[in-house]
A and B are shown apart, each in its own frame.
Chain A
Amino acid sequence: MNILNLLNAMPGAVAQGLIWGITAIGIYLTFRILDIADLTVDGSLCTGGAVCIMMMLSGHNVLVSMLAATLAGMVTGLVTGLFHTFMGIPAILSGILTQLALYSVNLKIMGKANQAINVDKYDLLVSLRYIKNVVFYKNPIFVVAICIVLLVLILYWFFGTELGCALRATGCNGNMARAQGINTNFSKVLGLMLSNGLVGLSGALLSQYQGFADINMGRGAIVIGLAAVIIGEAIFGRIFRNFGLKLIGVALGSILYYIVLQTVIWLGVDTDLLKLFSAVVVAIFLAIPYWKGKYFAKPVVKKGGSTNA
């Protein structure tokens, strides 16, 4: 239980947290803005990683590969969106169907369950090898932080446009959106594509960082993402009112999640139990607003007040 071990592990935890932060931002878009729990992400994260690694192994530039990974992620979102809007399948089930299908697709992309990439032979954008003793601009923490800032700026701009406002209205009140001439089906598909595009990008960064793409790398991604969203909102919700800052808050929430995870591992907890802990923690945090409303709600009309009668 040497505290130095924990401190040594921190930069890695922060870098991983940042990379997952992009996934978390994607999940925020569907979960909070569109009001859809999109389970596609468990598959699309791996799709992004698989596409990126395979493209790089076949000699493509790292940025081109990451762009392809993002587009692949968007396609997975499109599929879920069409399941939901065109075929009328409930959103949760649509995501589960895509996720299941992606297991096969991801295997076919990679040809096997795991594809490694050698950091010495390929010019990776991020790698855990660069976490220490490199110039700051090669450090994954710096690189991914810049990525997140750029993404947040783009998203901030987008959700201020007519199209972005239509998307927000769709998630907030579908009846109102349609009454104002918004094609809510289109909005939902677009939102799912955006979200999974971000998740694909996150998968591309993650696979480079860890040096391989693995068929199981996206397992539980939705829970990790939700945890980041919830932690971000719980801690920064009161100070970050602006939409852009909220997204930053979600990324910071993801970092905190990985710091806590690293600490738990350092404390010597059986790592087999980590996913169980994650699920329980997320379940409790999701329940808090419900419990608040049910057991601690203030009565709307106070008793005995003629002014309220």
Chain B
Amino acid sequence: MLEIKNVTKIFNPGTVNEKLALDNFSLTLEDGDFVTVIGGNGAGKSTMMNAIAGVWPVDAGKIIIDGVDVTKLPEHKRAKYLGRVFQDPMTGTAATMGIEENLALAKRRGHGRTLRAGISRKEREEYRELLKILDLGLEDRLTSKVGLLSGGQRQALTLLMATLQKPKLLLLDEHTAALDPKTAAKVLETTEFIVQRDQLTTLMITHNMRDAIAHGNRLIMLNEGRIILDIRGEEKKKLTVEDLLHKFEAASGEEFASDKAILG
């Protein structure tokens, strides 16, 4: 479903701030894989996501989604294949537009935007039903401006928008990191529900090792722009946080330096 082949990305090349963010990076996802991604700050997790999404061009390598080479496609053209939820709840939705208008924008992802109505009556009913899944009471607030919603509500809505058109690949970039633990758990639960229901191929970055172990069928750990751990299947099911820490130290030769990841 997704093939990342030898991708390299260097930020600020030729300056003192030069940073090798992705170092000859390769990753292949099978159809239906749910891969959790962990790693310290600056490990290249978000860079990997942005490379897939096409936020900027990569310096070398290829990115293939569902057999289509998207390496040279701009961000808005790749959107056809991708559902994205961001770390910042403000990023995924348009605050000055209504809940139903945001959903209608997402519904048209991958289609041309014409002079047809931006939202139809039939869609409204569909959205009302879909919003019930979230169990946040949003189904009765279809015309409310998204700016009035809480961070958790916005993330849940963004998740719904990302999966409204079944994406080839769902990209979750620490989408629960900015939420309080209770809300985060709920959004994660909804994520699991939708991913299972639609059998979505998913890449989920998380700061939380427990979440990384509890979800998905495969776990990868990044460090300095490379994959240093790749655990799947039965082995992943038996994994504990301690195991992960030991494996990280063994693989990288340094201690894992994020309390949040261990304690969270």
Contact = CB atoms under 8 A, between A and B. Distances in A.
B246 interface: no
Contact of B105 (A161, A166, A183, A184): A166
Interface in A163-200: 163-166, 168-169, 172-173, 175-184
Contacts of A164: 118
A181 B108 contact: yes
Contacts, number: 84
Contacts of A168: 94, 96-97
Interface in B67-117: 74-77, 79-80, 82, 84, 86, 90-97, 101, 104-106, 108-111, 113-117
Contacts of B108: 162, 180-181
Contact of A169 (B75, B90, B105): B105
A180 B118 contact: no
A165 B105 contact: yes
B221 interface: no
B161 interface: yes
A180 B105 contact: yes
A162 B115 contact: yes
B169 interface: no
Contacts of B52: none
A305 B86 CA distance: 31
B53 interface: yes
Given A162-B117, A165-B97, A181 B110 contact: yes
Interface string B107-150: 01111011111110000000000000000000000000000000
B118 A181 contact: no
Given A172-B94, A177-B94, A180-B161, A165 B104 contact: yes
A158 to B, nearest CB: 8
A161 B115 contact: yes
Contact of A179 (B79, B104, B117, B119): B79
Nearest to A167: B113
Q: Majority SS of interface residues in chain B? A: loop
Nearest to A170: B94
A183 B75 CA distance: 8
A111 interface: no
A163 B113 contact: yes
A160 interface: yes
Contacts of B79: 178-182
A176 B75 contact: no
A183 B96 CA distance: 19
Given A178-B75, A180-B161, A166 B91 contact: no
B202 to A, nearest CB: 16
Given A172-B94, A180-B79, A180-B105, A162 B114 contact: yes
A231 to B, nearest CB: 21
Contacts of B74: 183
Contacts of B161: 180
A183 B97 CA distance: 18
A173 B77 contact: no
A162 B118 CA distance: 4
Contacts of B94: 168-169, 172-173, 176-177
Contacts of B77: 181
Contact of A172 (B96, B106, B119): B96
Nearest to A175: B91
Contacts of A176: 91-94
- Select the residue from A158, A165, A182 with max chain B CB neighbours within 10 A: A165
B79 to A, nearest CB: 4
Contacts of A177: 76, 94, 105
Contacts of B96: 168, 172
Nearest to B162: A179
B80 A162 contact: no
B101 A165 contact: yes
21 contacts: A160-B118, A160-B119, A161-B115, A162-B113, A163-B113, A165-B118, A166-B105, A168-B94, A172-B94, A172-B97, A175-B86, A176-B92, A178-B79, A179-B79, A179-B82, A180-B161, A181-B76, A181-B80, A181-B108, A181-B109, A181-B110
Top 9 A-B residue pairs of the complex, sorted by shortest distance between their CB atoms: A181-B79, A165-B118, A172-B94, A162-B113, A181-B109, A178-B75, A166-B113, A161-B115, A179-B84
Given A166-B113, A173-B95, A180-B161, 18 more contacts: A161-B115, A162-B113, A162-B116, A163-B113, A163-B115, A165-B101, A168-B94, A172-B96, A175-B86, A176-B91, A176-B93, A178-B75, A179-B53, A179-B86, A180-B79, A180-B108, A182-B105, A184-B76
